[in-house]
Every structure is written in C-alpha cells, then in structure tokens.
Amino acid sequence: MIKIENLMKAFGAKRAVDGISFNVERGEVVGFLGPNGSGKSTTMRMITGYYAPTSGTVSVGGHDVVESPLAAKRLIGYLPENAAAYTDMTVRGFLEFAAELRGLSGAAKRKAVGRAVERCFLASVLHQSIDTLSKGFRHRTCLAQALIHDPAVLVLDEPTDGLDPNQKHEVRNLIKELGRSKAVVFSTHILEEVDAACTRAIIIDRGKIVAQGTPDELGRPLDEVFRRITLPDTVNA
C-alpha cells in the first residue's frame, strides 16, 4: 500500500531524509523508530503529501503522492505530530466537520462519527468543547479524525504522545487491531511500543535507515540495540 523509493528531503545543505526505501503492506503495523531529529516526522510528511520530496518517490495504493495527490490522500488517515484541532468546537462538532471534509453526509456521516468515537473512547467527552479537554483526550480526538473515513492506510506520528499509561495501552491495542486490515506506519521513540503493537520496525538515524525487521530479528534487548546503532545528539553528523 505504501511504497517508498530512494526518498530524500533536503532543507538547504541539510539532508533530513537521505535516500531511504521501504514498503508497508496491508496487514502490517510498521513502527518507525529513531532519535529526535532523525527524520521520522519529515518522512511522515512526505508520505502524506505535506512535503514534496527533493528526490525519490512515494506512492500510496499505487498513486504517486506528487503526481496524483488527491487519489493518494483519499486513502490516508493522518495524525500529525502535535496535532491541532479547532478548540472552540465540541468533540462531536469537530468529528462531524472532519467527516464532511472527507465527503461523508447523512447516515454515513453519523455512522463514521459513532465508529470513531467508540474506537477512541471519546463518549464521555463527546459534548465538551476541545479547549476544555485534557492533553490526552485532545490527542485521542485528533486520532479519531484520522480514522473518520475508515482509511486503508494510517500514518500516525507519535500516536501515544501525552497519553497516560491506561490510554497508551488502549491506543496500542487499537493500532494492533487496525493493522489486521490496514497498512499502518507510526513513528515513535518509545521502544516498548514495538513489542506492544508492531509486526515490523524500521530504525532511522540522521536520515538513513540503519536497521529493520521484526522485533525478534532486530535483537534483544531492543533499547541496547537502539543505542548501539544510533548516534547521540552530542555526536556531530
């Protein structure tokens, strides 16, 4: 569903993403791991069409995200890093608005909103305005908008950011469940999420893929593997 070939993104002289290639198929949950500043979010933004690649290609469902952006984006549910929402809206109002942006109306819109509310455990705050929500509930509301149109591909940037331990457990289980029928890629720097939700993991450091495989293939303990193959911020690129 997601095919990335020789993808590169430069900002001036700096290569934030430096010639990476990988695929994500339906039925996979791929964790995209790396230290802060490794190129995870930049890659996510190119998959979703927010950034145009400097070189290389991204296709989603056979659609090139640069040449056929609307066809590709119709297949994607995207939770960006530090996802924003219209804080004067209620949770229901925001999700209905998101559904309408995806072309849903009437009974289809009501069904989509109900499904997203149930999946993201939002029933208790459905009628609250978003500016009154905790950080965790705001993040779950933004996750719900990514699911509103039941997309074939999910691109989730730090999907458990700001959640308490119980909420993290719920969201990890949800990602695992969704991965049975969708292609899911999510970025994280929390290594325990690999075991909790991923069928495969890709580790990126300074814009390059340095390892990939199942959690068992990468080796144990994963935190030691991660430290061994990635460089700390104190080391010059």
More confident residue, 117 or 162: 117
The per-residue pLDDT for range 85-113, each reduced to its tens digit, is 888 999 999 999 999 999 999 999 999 99
**Taking 60 as the threshold, does the pLDDT of residue 235 lie above it?**
no
What is residue 192's predicted lDDT score, i.e. its pLDDT? 83
Question: Do 71 and 87 lie in a common domain?
Answer: no
Give the C-alpha separation, 168 to 173, whole Å: 9
Asked if 51 and 124 sit in the same domain, the reply is: no
Q: Are the CB atoms for 85 and 141 separated by under 8 Å?
A: yes
215 with 156, same domain: the answer is yes
Q: Are residues 64 and 5 in the same domain?
A: yes
- Residues of the chain with pLDDT > 70, as a percent, come to 97
For residue 167, being part of any structural domain is answered with no
Verify that 156 and 48 share a domain, yes or no.
yes
- Per the listing, tokens 């289980």 go with 173
Q: Within 13 Å and on the Cβ side, how many CA atoms surround 29? A: 21
Sheet holding 63-64, edge to edge: 14-24, 2-11, 55-60, 63-64
- Alpha-carbon distance of 101 to 228, in angstroms, equals 45
**Do 224 and 187 share a domain, yes or no?**
yes
- Between residues 236 and 85, which one has the greater pLDDT? 85
pLDDT at 199: 92
The reply to whether 38 falls in a domain is yes
My answer on whether 56 and 156 are in the same domain is: yes
Q: How far is CA 36 from CA 88, 102, 127, 141, 228, in A?
A: 32, 32, 36, 25, 16
Q: How far is CA 106 from CA 75, 96, 112, 114, 207, in A?
A: 21, 10, 10, 13, 44
User: Both 195 and 233 in a single domain?
Assistant: yes
User: Which residues pair with residue 156 across a beta bridge?
Assistant: 79, 186
In a domain, 170, yes or no: no
pLDDT at residue 161 in the model: 77
87 plus 17 within the same structural domain:
no
Q: Are residues 136 and 192 in the same domain?
A: no
DSSP class per residue in 76-95: EEEE-TT----TTSBHHHHH
Q: Which tokens sit at 202?
A: 């890709």
Domain with 236 in it: 1-75+152-162+179-237
Statement: residue 82 has pLDDT above 90 = no
Residues 201, 133: one domain? no
**pLDDT tens per residue, range 63-81:** 999 999 999 999 999 998 7
Taking only the tens place, the pLDDT of each residue in 17-42 is: 999 999 999 999 999 998 888 999 99
For residue 134, the number of C-alpha atoms closer than 13 Å in the C-beta half-sphere is 11
Contact indicator for 198, 24 with CB cutoff of 8 Å: no
Which of 228, 161, 159, 226 is CA-nearest to residue 197?
159
> Is 32 inside a domain boundary?
yes
Which is more confidently placed, 220 or 234? 220
Q: Within a domain: residue 29?
A: yes
Clarify whether residues 28 and 68 are in a common domain.
yes
Q: How many domains does the chain have?
A: 2
Mean of pLDDT over the chain: 91
Q: Check pLDDT > 90 for residue 208.
A: yes
- Tell me if 234 is assigned to some domain: yes
- The secondary structure of residue 216, as a DSSP letter, is H
Note if the pTM is more than 0.75.
yes
Looking up residue 197, the CATH number of its domain turns out to be: 3.40.50.300
